Structure 1
């Protein structure tokens, strides 16, 4: 029997998969390496809760491995031997410890994938990579599915995966409930009823870790309550949040998944994205848990609640990852609308008279969280309507949210939100006037601006910005059937009204801080 090589295995901060096959079998010749590095804290300015969340989860995972007699090397952010660079640390360890083989799981971020490819070329020892064993689809599965097709659509991909994995299917070809998509049932405005249970939160003391970050001089955004850190940072925590969602929130999730409210930060949302994106939970076990709970409680839970949740994970999450690996690296440079403006300063302090933006940004700064409609139709919508450069938008979204990793952030931001990819992800721009915000929220009530007004000084800025966007881009969208109705309404506006709209929009675009 051949002698096993002394092996160093790298675990990245978003590869905390307790069920990975790596941890089975003979482990005597294997050492695992987990590192907190300035390389990762500094490529954008992250939310303080994001840095604390990742480092806490990484430390918990290292403890989990050590408790099961795995050999672990863990570099904390201020350790003297930590050179703060992935390649330098690994090369140094291989030299010092005499490792004969280097192994890693395929990263989900392009920049790390390239960095590890370069490293393996430079190493003089044997190397090998592995799948993360997390996603339901492979990196290139979407590319293969759409080979030869002109248009990508998430719905086709979603149905394909529903059939493949037999998720919410009555037969091999018929979906449960007779429909593939219950999106039209997922658009209710929350008006105080039904009662929203408190989120499954935590009261962790992270003051010691926060001191370490201060000592390291890491620049961050947002705030953290050191004695009340509110995110799951272990598999046990994550399973608790999943169980709580199924028992308390799923029953109304679908109805109010697009709703917005000044008094509610999370509504019926699961708060599971951080646990999944770090791989403490797998998408399959999340989907299975939700569906099992649904089948056990069919008398209480409608199919529309469950399908709306499954669509986000089996549909959007896998779809966005497939787009990412299909379109990178060029995707991160896409700017089809040629927008050039800077992100308005109030994105960093929430100091704006627009109630919807104030609440959405304040929630983001205080909790490293906003749900998908706040991201898409409030902060993203305003950034697009004010012609913000997608690089600026990317940096903000990637930094501010605890669940933001480039593979999922950039496709949602540059594709879905900013239409910078010209329609690869979304078949039309996701823009709206204040009427949509008023329809889905109570944000307009008590706002400094009036959603009913178009161009007056106290008119909702979204109104003139929306029509100005359509006016500025009408030739680009003339052949887009999904834009026909709005463009026909634009055509009916007379020149005097359009001049007022353009003038008001220009004031907002030129001086967003005034609003």
Structure 2
């Protein structure tokens, strides 16, 4: 019987998939390697909870494999033999252990995909790449789906996914409830009722990992409670959070998924995005769990609640991944509106008189989390209205959120939020004045500024910034049919009023610390 090749397998920090077919193989000739590296901690400044979360989840998965007699090499951040670079570490391991083949799962970040291709070209041994076996789609499925079409409208892709996978369907053609999309039912403002159950939290002592991060000298942002770390970092944790969501939060998720409130960090959101993006759980088991619970409790849960949740995962998540692989590497350089400004200092300390920004940023710094409307219509909205360079926006979003990995971050910020891609993802820019923020939240209630005032020192800065954005970008958006109504309102403004709007907006943009 031929002797098996001695194989080294790389497992990245976002490839913690317990059900991958790799682990069904005979493991006698296989060694799995995990690496905590400065290469990964330093490419942007990350939130301290993000670094802790990844290290903890990686260590838990490595322990899971060891307990099942898989061979594991684990390089911690301060190990003497850790050269802090993927290529150098792999070369050293292959030389030291005489591995005869190198295998890896396809990365979800373009930079790592390119790096691994280059590494493999220079290796003296055979190499092979495998699918991560996580997503519903392959990298190029979305590109094939939209081939020959002028616009990449997510809704068509989402409906096709529902049909192909039989999710929330009454038969092969018809959606559950008679409608494909209940987005218009997902925009309620939460005002204290119904009561929101406390999130499925954790009280983990991560002081040991924190000491290691401090010893390594890794620069981070945000805060952390070292003996009360509140994120799932194992598959067991992740399933617990998912089950808690289904039983306690799904019933009102759709209604309030766009709501904002000063007293609530999570509302009815699931908090499973970190678990999903590290692959501790899969989108299929998340959707299966939620839809099964819905069908078992149809008398209690409206179709709009479950459809809004499914759309986030089956629609947006898979769609954004497809956009990423279709448009990279050029996507990360797109800046169609030619914005050039830096992010204000208050994005790192929440010290601003604008209540909506203060609460959204403060929550982000404390929790490494904000839900999609805080990201899109508060921090993202302000960045776009103040002409911030999308590179600045990317770095902040990629660093501050525990669930941020480039494939899902950059498409949402540079596309959905900043319109830097010129309309690949969004057919119009997601900008608003203070009225939308007031409609969806209680942020305006105790704010230093007055949301209904358009001009003057007490006027909400979003108001003048919004109209100034439309005025400044008329050449770009003037022919956009979805913006006709707003441009008709702009055209009715008195020239003197418009000039005052421009001046106030210019002052806000040039002196953000004053606001």
TM beyond 0.5: yes
Tell me, in whole angstroms, the C-alpha distance in 2 between the residues paired with 1:301 and 1:476.
Answer: 43
Write the mapping of 1:485-504 to structure 2, written as runs, cut at 5 A. 485-504=485-504
1:296 is aligned to 296
1:294, distance to aligned residue in structure 2 (A): 0.1
Q: Secondary structure of the residue that 2:127 maps to in structure 1?
A: strand
Query: Can you list the C-alpha shifts for 1:312-336, whole angstroms capped at 9, x where unaligned?
Result: 0000000000000000000000000
Write the mapping of 1:410-449 to structure 2, written as runs, cut at 5 A. 410-449=410-449
Tell me which moved more, 472-481 or 84-93.
Answer: 472-481
Normalising by structure 2, we get a TM-score of 1.00
Tell me, in whole angstroms, the C-alpha distance in 1 between the residues paired with 2:480 and 2:310.
Answer: 29
1:382 is aligned to 382
Write the mapping of 1:237-256 to structure 2, written as runs, cut at 5 A. 237-256=237-256
1:59 is aligned to 59
1:474, distance to aligned residue in structure 2 (A): 1.2
1:106 is aligned to 106
1:264 is aligned to 264
Structure 2's unaligned 5+ residue stretches are none
2:88 is aligned to 88
1:198 is aligned to 198
Write the mapping of 1:80-159 to structure 2, written as runs, cut at 5 A. 80-159=80-159
2:188 is aligned to 188
Tell me, in whole angstroms, the C-alpha distance in 2 between the residues paired with 1:337 and 1:279.
Answer: 35
Q: Secondary structure of the residue that 1:174 maps to in structure 2?
A: coil
Root mean square deviation, CA, Å: 0.5
Tell me, in whole angstroms, the C-alpha distance in 1 between the residues paired with 2:235 and 2:425.
Answer: 32
Q: Secondary structure of the residue that 1:255 maps to in structure 2?
A: helix
Tell me, in whole angstroms, the C-alpha distance in 2 between the residues paired with 1:180 and 1:269.
Answer: 21
1:508 is aligned to 508
Tell me, in whole angstroms, the C-alpha distance in 1 between the residues paired with 2:244 and 2:149.
Answer: 41
Structure 1's unaligned 5+ residue stretches are none
Q: Secondary structure of the residue that 2:148 maps to in structure 1?
A: coil
Q: Secondary structure of the residue that 2:172 maps to in structure 1?
A: coil
Give 4+ residue runs of structure 1 displaced > 6 Å after superposition: none
Query: Can you list the C-alpha shifts for 1:117-159, whole angstroms capped at 9, x where unaligned?
Result: 0000000101000000000000000000011111101001000
1:233 is aligned to 233
Tell me, in whole angstroms, the C-alpha distance in 2 between the residues paired with 1:364 and 1:331.
Answer: 26
Q: Secondary structure of the residue that 1:127 maps to in structure 2?
A: strand
1:341 is aligned to 341
1:215 is aligned to 215
Tell me, in whole angstroms, the C-alpha distance in 1 between the residues paired with 2:260 and 2:210.
Answer: 31
Query: Can you list the C-alpha shifts for 1:322-359, whole angstroms capped at 9, x where unaligned?
Result: 00000000000000000000001000000000000000
Tell me, in whole angstroms, the C-alpha distance in 1 between the residues paired with 2:318 and 2:381.
Answer: 24
Query: Can you list the C-alpha shifts for 1:428-479, whole angstroms capped at 9, x where unaligned?
Result: 0000000000000000001000001011101000000000000011121122
Q: Does residue 476 in structure 1 map to residue 465 in structure 2? A: no
1:224 is aligned to 224
Tell me, in whole angstroms, the C-alpha distance in 1 between the residues paired with 2:93 and 2:475.
Answer: 58
Tell me the number of residue pairs that the alignment of Structure 1 and Structure 2 aligns: 515
